[in-house]
Amino acid sequence: MHLMDATWSDVRDCETDLAVVPVGSTEQHGPHAPLGTDVLTAEAVADAGCEQFDREVVRTPAIPVGVAEEHRQFPGTMWVSADTFRSYVGESVRSLASHGFGRVVLVNGHGGNVDALREVGARLTRDGDAYAVPFTWFDAVGDHSSDMGHGGPLETALVRCV
């Protein structure tokens, strides 16, 4: 179930405690790829994962702004500090948990978010707010990880497929 397409009563009546949250960044990926590459790829991976799960899963809207100040010189880049990002993600997960979604997968598409997501996931889990696990899709490509690169062949191929 896509949260943005659901009514509040759909959410109330759903039979899952699992939510998937795509997380990305709005930043440059060279002259050939959109600023939303990290968001689009995180959404695509999140959707593919939800489709493979044999039970209902709630897929939230993406978090489109991440820790990306290193790209600030490129027009269109948006960023927040790591502290602001951790706070926003943490409060977003807590809001999901308050409605019964105690297990949350944070599907990440941006390298600059990795450390902050690990930290916020560990804190949420340790504090008992929710069991929050970050999953960075490009860490799972195995032998093809050398093709990754920022705006490189693997990332570009995926964004062109979606």
Query: Domains (ranges, CATH) in the chain?
Result: 3-153 (3.40.50.10310)
Counting as low any pLDDT under 70, the low residues of the chain are 142-148, 153
Q: What is the edge-to-edge ordering of all strands in the sheet holding 18-23?
A: 58-59, 18-23, 103-108, 131-136
pTM, 2 dp: 0.92
Cα–Cα distance between 42 and 38 in angstroms, integer? Answer: 6
Cα–Cα distance between 92 and 94 in angstroms, integer? Answer: 5
Q: Give pLDDT tens digits for 60-100.
A: 999 999 998 888 889 999 999 999 999 999 999 999 999 99
What integer pLDDT is reported at residue 148 of this predicted model?
65
Three-state SS at 61 = coil
Closest alpha carbon to 104 in 141, 129, 139, 137: 129
Tokens 């696990």 belong to 133
